[in-house]
Amino acid sequence: MMRISVLASLACAFLPLQVNAQNWSETGKVIYVDDGDTVVLLRSDNSRLKIRLSDIDAPESMHGHKRPGQPLSQKATDYLKSLVHGKIVNAHCYEYDRYKRGVCTITIDGQSVNLKMVDAGLAWANRANPRYVRDTRVYEAEVVAKKQAMGVWSLPNQVAPWRWRKDCWNDAACEGAEQ
């Protein structure tokens, strides 16, 4: 019986290692910004990693005439470009999403780019997929951006991206869409 207890204790001791086993880090140059929360990283071996920024959800960009973009989607994309395009960044990645993108926190000089997007009011804390939120500071940053009417919070009828995908893209109710 004691032997089983010892083995069970050892197995439990290694559980955190198994949970974190998929975490990995990348360093590379951002060669493309797809939208306000997706970039492409060029690794040192010249392979590419498409990254979905963890913690946040930025305004949706246009994806064809049946999927119009949200207000400020281009501004969010441009701001993310100004922060990372052509720069060497660090990416701490947690998993792959259903589109095979790495879900990562991107940092430059120790500063979270993901958090900067929320600070600027150009992304929401990802409330639709809280499992992708690793840095809970995004919740407070969203509150501050909202109080200061920054970015999306300056709009009278702002809609979170997860609602936009449902209401506009799925149900064709696209009031205020960017063309």
Burial classification of residue 178, based on how many CB atoms lie within 10 Å of its CB (0-12 exposed, 13-18 middle, 19 or more buried): middle
Burial classification of residue 84, based on how many CB atoms lie within 10 Å of its CB (0-12 exposed, 13-18 middle, 19 or more buried): buried
Known catalytic residues are 52, 60, 101
